[in-house]
Structure 1
Amino acid sequence: MEQIKTDLLVIGAGSGGLSVAAGAVQMGASVVLLEGHKMGGDCLNYGCVPSKALIASAKAAYGKGHSADLGVAEVAADVNYAAAMTHVSGVIKQIEPVDSQERFEGLGVRVIREFGHFVSDREVEAGRYRITARRIVIATGSSPLVPPIPGLDQVPYLTNETLFDLRERPTHLLIIGGGPIGMEMAQAHIRLGSKVTVIEGAQALGKDDPELAAVVLDQLRGEGVEIAEDAMVKSISGQAGAITVDTADGRSFTGSHLLLAVGRKTNTDRLTLDAAGIETTRAGIKVDDSLRTTNRRVYAIGDVAGGMQFTHVAGYHAGVIIRSALFSLPSKAKTSHIPWATYTDPELAQVGLTEAQAREQHGDRLEVARFDYHHNDRAIAERKTPGFIKVMVVKGRPVGASIVGHQAGDLIALWSLAIANSLKMSQVSAMVAPYPTYAELNKRVAGAYFSPRLFDSQTVKRVVGAVQRWLP
C-alpha cells in the first residue's frame, strides 16, 4: 500500500470539496483530493445544472404558446423531449472541464479516483493508498432519500440521479414530494408536454412563506399541474408504464413514471467515521460553529454537515474552513445571510427570517415593508407582473427578505449582502438602480419602508413648511 503524507486531504469532489482544494493548493498547501464517482458531484451531474438546463427548455416551450400579450402569434410548441435532454447533457459537458481531474491536477492537486474511509483519527485509505493528513475535510454531499414505502421496491422509479437519463417523455409523471425539486420538475414537465401529478404529505413548498408559495402554486395549477396536498403515501403498486400511488386518506393516483423528490440523505456510509472518533446526528455529521467535527483534525462541509443543503452553502463553507485549516485563525459559519431559491416560474426566494419567524422572534418591534411587481415598469413592459417582495425590518435593519416573481433568485442577493454586513434600510435606499430594471424593486421596497415616516409625518410637513417660508 502506497503511503502519502499531505497538509490537507479533501474527501469528495463536489462544489465544496473542489473549492477547498483549489483555494488551499493555490495558497501553498499540499492537497490530496479523493473522488470515487463523478467530478463535480451532485450539482453538476444530477442537480442544479441539469435541472436548470431542463427548465430553460421548458420555458422556451411555454413561451411559444404564451406570447399574444406581446403581439406575437401563439403557436403550439413542438417539443422533442429527447433533444431537450440532449441539451441538458450538453450543458453538463460544457461545464465539466472546470471541475475536471485534469484542471485540478494542473493546479497542483493530487487527485485519486477512489472512495476513502478512515482507519484512524488522521489516516484514510482509498484503494491502494493510505493517506496521512494534518487536516481532513469531508465533503461527500448527499443523495436522494428513498423512503421505505410498501411496494416501492417492486416498481421502477426515478430520482434526480436517473431522471436526466430519460429520452422518452413521460406520459404522466407522478412526483412524490412537493418541495423545490418536485415543483421545479413538475412545471418543467407540464411545459414539455407531460401530464403531472404532485403528491405531498403535508403542504407543497411548506418551508417557504405561505403567502409567497401560494403565488407559485396557483401558477402551476393554472398550467395544469395536479397538486395533491395532505396526501401521505401508503403504498405503491403496478409496473412500468402503469404505476399507482395510494395515500392514507384513500386517494389513488396512476401514472406512467414515478419520481421521488422527498428529501436527501447525507453520504457517510462508506467513511467508517467511528474509526476517526467522528460523531453523527440524524441530520449528518456533527459539527461546531467552525465546521469542525468531534475529531479536531477533521472538518465537514456542505450537505454532509447536516445543515442547509445548497451548492452555494458548500462554497461558503469552503471559505470558512480555509481560514481555519490553513491559517489557524478563528472562523465561524453563519446561516442568517444564506439565501435560497426555487426556480419555478415565477421564482421563489428567501434569505433570513420569514415574516412568521420574524414575528415570533421580534414581536412588536418588527416592521414589514412590501412592494408589488405590478408597480415595476420593467415587469409591466415584459408582462411579468405577478409577484411581490417583502422585507422584515427590526430597528431599521433587515432581518429577512422574501421574494416571489420574475428573477427573484437574482434579486435576493442584495438582501443577503445587507444582512451579512448589518446594513440599514437607509443604505439600501441610497442605492441607485438603472431604469428600467427589476433591481428597482429592491430600492422601491426600501423606499416603501421610509414612505410613512416621510409622507405621513406631520412633523416633517411642519419642518418643510417652515423652511419654505424662510427661503428667499
Structure 2
Amino acid sequence: MHHHVIVIGGGAAGLYATAGLARLGVDVAVISEQENMGGDCLHYGCVPSKTLLHMAQETKQWPKIRQKIQDTIADIQPNDSVPRFESLGAHVYIGKAKFLNSHTIQVANQQLTAKKFIIATGSRPKIPEVSGLDDSMYETNETIFQLTELPKKMAIIGAGPVGLELGQAFQNIGVAITLFDHNQYFLKRYHRDIAAIALEKLGLDIHLNSRLSQVRRLNEQEIELKIEESGQEKTYIVEKILFATGQIANIDTLQLENTGVLFDKKIRTNAHLQTTESHIYAIGDVINSPSLTHAGGAEARVALTNIAFGNFTKIQYETLASVIYTKPEIYQLASKQEAARVLSANGATIDRFKTDDEPEALVRVGINKQAKIIHAEAIGTDISTVMQQIALLKATNSKLTDLSKAIYPYPTKSEILKKTIRSTIIRKTRETTHSKNTSSNHKMEAIIMKVFWREWRGIILFVAFVLTGFLVIYKLGIVDSFNVAEVSEVVRDMGIWGKILYVIIYILRPLVLFPATPLTLFGGYTFGAVQGTILDVIGAGTGAILAFWIARQLGKEKIERLIQGKKLEKFDHKIGENGFLVVLYLRLIPLFPFDSINYSMGLSSIRMRDYAAATYLGIIPGAFTLNFLGSSLGRLDWQFYTAISLYAFLIILPWIVKKLRNS
C-alpha cells in the first residue's frame, strides 16, 4: 500500500500532524502501536497528572481519584480514536513499524511505502541502573496511576517537573514523600530567587546532590535505599520508588540503520525538522527539543506545513513557555539572549496576592533597550495564566509597556505585570528629568544634534543621494533629449557591454526610485522578449535585494519612529513565518509597487534568502509579459494584443483566485 505521507506514532505530535495533513486533503496514514491512540500525554502524562493535581485538592480518597483519572481519559479518548481519524480521511494502522529501506516500512505483515514520512514515536521513562533493583520495587508515570493502593512512604528519584508535580499531589493525599535529585542546585535552569521560593513553598522534603546507589527489599512492604548524599551514604526506608529521571526516545525498534537517518540517543534534524534523509521528518520527543506536548504540536505544525507547501517554515522556540503545575506554579519563558534590564515585582505589592495570602509570588521579566521581551520567569498560584500575556507580547514583537494600554479589572493577579511596567515608565521619566535639570541649554542642544545625526544619518544620506541623482539627470538634459530608438540602437551596438550596462542600471534603479516599467519595456524593445526577460530578472532581482539590504541597514526602529505607531509591527506580524509566500504573491501581481515592496520587506523580519528566492521566482511572469509587450512596440499585431492580454490577466489574477477560493 502506498501513501503520500506516513506518520509513525499515535501520540499527541503524530496525531496533530496526521489531522492537519488530512484536512489539507493529503493522502496520509498514521501508525500507532496501541489501538487507544493519544500516547503519553493522554494516558500517562498531561491528562492523568493534571487530574491528580486537581483531585488532590478535593479529596484524599485514592479510589475516587483513580476513577476520576480513568473517566477523564475516557472522556477525551474519542478525540484521539481510530474512527475519528478515519472520518478525517486518514488511514490508520495498528502495530510496530520498522524501516526496510528509506521509502518502505513494515507494520505487522504489511509493507507500506510513502513519498514522505514523519517519525513521532515519543519516548518512555528512563530507569537508571541500580544495584538490587527489580520491577516490583518501582513505578513510573506510566504505571503509577494503575495502583489500586498507595504506599505509605514513597521515594521519588528526580526533582524535575514530573517529580515535583506527582510528589506534591501524592503528599497532599497522605503519602509521605521524599525527593532525591543528583543536581547540586534546585531548579538549576531557573533564577535563584524563583528556585528559593519554590523550595520553601512546595512543602516537599527535597535532597539535592543525591544519588541512588543500591536498593534492598527488607520484607513484603519495605525497601531499603542507599543514597550517596553530598559525599555521605545514608539509608532510607520506603515502600515504593517512583522514577522521574527523564525519558528515552522510542527509536530503537524502528531499524533506522536501514535508512540514511543519522541518530544517536535522538534523531538529528535541521530547522525544517528534516532528518539526514530529506523526505523523512522527525518531531516530538525523538529529537533534541523541549519534551513538552505543546512543543510537539508546534513541531507537527512546521513539519506538515513544509510537507504540504515546501520547506519554507523553520521551527522556532522563542515563544515556547514551560510550566510546572504545582502549587504555586512555576513559569518560564527562556531565552539564550541576554536582557538589557530585568524588571521584577512581588505579590506583597499586589492586592489580589495579599487577599490570597501569597506575598512571596514573584515575576521577573527581561527586556531589551526598546522594552521588548527577552525572557520571563514567575512563581505563584495560577501564575501561568497571567504570564502568557508576556509570551504573546514576545510573539508579536510588542513592548512590555503596551500592557499599560489595557484597563485591568480590580483586583486581579495580572496587576503584577502593571507593576513591572510602572517601574519602567518611572525610570524613563526620572532619567529624562535628571537630564533636563543637569544640562545647560547649549550642552542639551549639542547632545540632541549628536543623537539626531547618529539615528538619522542613514536616512539623510539616502535622501541626499536620491535628490542628487534627479538633479544630475535634470542638469544634463537627459529627459529632454531622450530618443528611445536611438538609445536602443546604441545599446544594441555595444554588444555584451550594452547588456551589462542595462543590468547595472536596473540594479541601481531603486536608489533613485526611477519607475521599473519603462525600463522593462525598453529592455524588451532593445533585446527582444526572451533576452530582455533574462536580463530584467537578473537586474530587477539584484536591485530588489540591494534595496532590501539598504532598508535593513537603515534599521526598522528608525523608520518606525519616522512613521510612528504600530504600522511596521502589524506588517511584520502579518508576514510571520510565511514570508516566502507573501513576497511571491506580491511579486506575481503587477498592481503592487515594486520598490515599496523592496524597502518595506527590508524592514520586516523575513529572511533574506526567502525574500531573494521569492523575488527572483515571482518577477518572471511580469518581466516576460512586459518584455513581450516592449518587443512589440511600434506595431499593432498579434504579439502586441497578446502581451496586453497577459498583462490584464496578471492584474485580475487576485480576483480570480479569490472567486475560486470562495467557491
CA RMSD of aligned residues (A): 1.9
Partner of 1:311: 293
Partner of 1:242: 222
- What is the SS of the residue equivalent to 1:148? coil
The offset of 1:346, in angstroms, is 0.2
Partners of 2:135 and 2:377 in 1: CA distance: 42
Change (3 A) 1:412 1:303: farther
Partner of 1:423: 398
The partner residue of 2:413 within 432, 438, 441 is 438
Partners of 2:387 and 2:119 in 1: CA distance: 29
Q: State the TM-score, normalizing by the size of structure 1.
A: 0.87
Partner of 1:465: none
Change (3 A) 1:460 1:13: farther
Mapping 1:196-345, distance limit 5 Å: 196-202=177-183, 203-221=185-203, 225-238=204-217, 240-248=220-228, 249-282=232-265, 284-345=266-327
Partners of 1:381 and 1:188 in 2: CA distance: 24
- What is the SS of the residue equivalent to 1:59? coil
Partners of 1:196 and 1:423 in 2: CA distance: 43
Partners of 1:194 and 1:227 in 2: CA distance: 15
Report the AA paired with residue 420 of structure 1: A
The offset of 1:106, in angstroms, is 1.1
The offset of 1:406, in angstroms, is 1.2
Partners of 2:400 and 2:194 in 1: CA distance: 22
Q: State the TM-score, normalizing by the size of structure 2.
A: 0.63
Partners of 1:305 and 1:406 in 2: CA distance: 32
Change (3 A) 1:244 1:106: same
Pair member with larger Rg? 2
Change (3 A) 1:344 1:240: farther
The partner residue of 2:143 within 142, 158, 162 is 162
The partner residue of 2:78 within 93, 97, 108 is 97
- What is the SS of the residue equivalent to 1:232? strand
User: Which string of whole-angstrom CA distances, capped at 9 and with x for unpartnered residues, describes residues 38-80 of structure 1?
Assistant: 400000000011001000011234xxxxxxxxxxxxxxxxx21
Q: Is the 8 A contact 1:117 1:126 kept in 2?
A: yes
**Runs ≥4 residues deviating over 6 A:** none
The offset of 1:94, in angstroms, is 1.1
Mapping 1:20-169, distance limit 5 Å: 20-37=17-34, 38-61=36-59, 79-153=60-134, 155-169=136-150
Q: Percent identity?
A: 29
Partners of 2:352 and 2:379 in 1: CA distance: 16
User: Which string of whole-angstrom CA distances, capped at 9 and with x for unpartnered residues, describes residues 83-133 of structure 1?
Assistant: 111111111111111111111111111111111111111111111221111
Q: Out of 212-221 and 391-400, give the one that drifted further.
A: 212-221
Q: Is the 8 A contact 1:85 1:164 kept in 2?
A: yes
Partners of 1:114 and 1:366 in 2: CA distance: 52
Q: Out of 87-96 and 232-241, give the one that drifted further.
A: 232-241
Tell me which protein shows more helix as a share of its residues. 2
Partner of 1:74: none
Partners of 2:186 and 2:29 in 1: CA distance: 42
The partner residue of 1:404 within 366, 371, 379 is 379
The offset of 1:442, in angstroms, is 2.6
Partner of 2:15: 18
The partner residue of 1:377 within 344, 347, 351 is 351
Partners of 2:167 and 2:374 in 1: CA distance: 32
Change (3 A) 1:461 1:432: farther
Tell me which protein shows more strand as a share of its residues. 1
Change (3 A) 1:154 1:332: closer
User: Is 1:393 equivalent to 2:383 in the alignment?
Assistant: no
Q: Which runs of 5+ in 1 are unaligned?
A: 62-78, 463-472
The offset of 1:436, in angstroms, is 2.5
Change (3 A) 1:92 1:461: farther
Q: Which runs of 5+ in 2 are unaligned?
A: 438-663
Q: Is the 8 A contact 2:138 2:242 kept in 1?
A: yes
The offset of 1:457, in angstroms, is 4.4
| RCO higher in structure (CA 8 A, sep ≥6) | 1
The offset of 1:200, in angstroms, is 1.1
Report the AA paired with residue 227 of structure 1: I
Partners of 2:71 and 2:201 in 1: CA distance: 29
User: Is 1:454 equivalent to 2:401 in the alignment?
Assistant: no
User: Which string of whole-angstrom CA distances, capped at 9 and with x for unpartnered residues, describes residues 121-155 of structure 1?
Assistant: 11111112211111110111111101111122365
Q: Is the 8 A contact 1:236 1:246 kept in 2?
A: yes
The offset of 1:460, in angstroms, is 8.6
Partner of 1:71: none
Partner of 1:178: 159
User: Which string of whole-angstrom CA distances, capped at 9 and with x for unpartnered residues, describes residues 275-323 of structure 1?
Assistant: 12111133x1100111100111111001111210000000011111121
The offset of 1:175, in angstroms, is 0.5
Partners of 1:420 and 1:129 in 2: CA distance: 44
Report the AA paired with residue 201 of structure 1: H
Report the AA paired with residue 96 of structure 1: Q
